[in-house]
C-alpha cells in the first residue's frame, strides 16, 4: 500500500527553469492538495482539487499551476522558477465524505532554486 | 482571515510530560487537529477533537480545547525520545467542505535522555 507518492524527492533548478512535481495516490481519494513548508511558517496551501478535472487556488498560488487530469494524480508546475520558491513541497489527499480532517501526506519534495 | 499560532520550540526530559499549546482564530472551525512530522517525513495525523468537546484522551495523549479562549493544547505523558518531532496544530476552515486546513508554524519537541 503506497499511499501518497511524490516525485522527484529532490531537485535543484536555476532561476527561470520550469519543472513539474508529480503526486500519485492509490487510495481513491477525491481531494488532493499541494502545500509548501518553509521554516517558521508551517504549511501553506498552494492549490487544491476536489475531484478529477477540478482545481482551485489556495493561500499562495502565484507562480504555480496545477492539473488533475486523472483522479489519482495531481501535478504541480513551476513555469519560471524563482529563488523564493525554494521550499519543501508536500502533496496530501483525503476522503470527500465522512470528513474528519485526516490528510494523508507524501514524504515531501525538496526544491532548491539557485 | 484564519490564523493558527504555536510556539516554535519545547525541550523536555525523557519521562516528563510535554504540553504543546496553540491558539486559533476561526470560531467556526468544526475540527481541530494535531499532526506529527518526524525528520524527513510527511505529516501524520496524531489526533483530533471535535469543536463541541472539551477534552479527548488517547493513551498518552490528552487534547484540551478552550473554545472561549480559542486555545488548544496537546499533552504527552511520559515523553519518550521517539516523541521528538515537529507537532502541528491545524484547524478546518469551516466555511466550505473542501477539506482545507490551516496549519500553525509547528512546535519542535526535543526530548533529552
User: How does pLDDT run across A12-58, given as a tens digit for each residue?
Assistant: 999 999 999 999 999 999 999 999 999 888 899 999 998 999 999 99
**Inter-chain touch B42–A90, beta carbons under 8 Å:** yes
Is it the case that residue A65 has pLDDT exceeding 50?
A: yes
pLDDT confidence band for A80 (50 / 70 / 90): very high
Closest CA to B51 of B104, B109, B93: B93
Gap between the Cα atoms of B29 and B26, Å rounded: 6
Strands (E), chain A: 4-7, 10-13, 19-25, 31-38, 42-51, 54-57, 65-67, 73-78, 87-94, 104-105, 109-113
Inspect the interface and report whether the beta carbons of A105 and B97 lie closer than 8 Å. Answer: no
From chain A, the residues in CB contact with B92 under 8 A are: 101
Q: A4 vs B41: CB contact, 8 Å cut-off?
A: no
C-alpha cell at A94: 483525503
Distance CA B2, CA B29 (A): 10
As a whole number, mean pLDDT of residues A89-112 equals: 84
- Which chain A residue lies closest to B9 (C-alpha atoms)? A40
Amino acid at each position: 500500500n503506497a499511499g501518497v507518492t511524490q516525485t522527484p524527492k529532490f531537485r535543484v533548478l536555476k532561476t527561470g527553469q520550469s519543472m513539474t512535481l508529480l503526486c500519485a495516490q492509490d487510495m481513491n481519494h477525491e481531494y488532493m492538495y499541494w502545500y509548501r513548508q518553509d521554516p517558521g511558517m508551517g504549511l501553506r496551501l498552494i492549490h487544491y482539487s476536489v475531484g478529477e478535472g477540478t482545481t482551485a487556488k489556495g493561500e499562495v498560488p502565484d507562480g504555480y499551476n496545477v492539473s488533475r487530469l486523472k483522479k489519482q494524480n495531481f501535478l504541480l508546475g513551476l513555469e519560471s522558477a524563482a529563488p523564493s520558491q525554494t521550499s519543501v513541497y508536500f502533496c496530501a489527499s483525503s476522503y470527500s465524505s465522512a470528513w474528519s480532517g485526516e490528510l494523508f501526506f507524501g514524504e515531501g519534495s525538496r526544491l532548491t532554486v539557485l | 482571515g484564519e490564523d493558527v499560532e504555536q510556539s516554535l520550540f519545547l525541550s523536555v526530559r525523557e519521562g516528563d510530560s510535554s504540553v504543546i499549546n496553540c491558539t486559533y482564530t476561526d470560531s467556526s472551525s468544526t475540527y481541530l487537529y494535531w499532526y506529527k512530522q518526524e525528520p524527513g517525513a510527511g505529516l501524520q495525523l496524531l489526533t483530533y477533537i471535535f469543536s463541541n468537546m472539551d477534552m479527548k484522551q488517547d493513551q498518552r495523549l490528552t487534547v484540551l480545547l478552550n473554545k472561549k479562549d480559542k486555545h488548544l493544547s496537546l499533552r504527552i505523558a511520559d515523553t519518550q525520545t521517539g516523541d521528538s518531532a515537529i507537532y502541528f496544530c491545524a484547524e478546518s476552515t469551516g466555511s466550505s467542505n473542501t477539506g482545507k486546513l490551516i496549519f500553525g508554524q509547528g512546535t519542535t519537541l526535543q526530548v533529552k535522555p
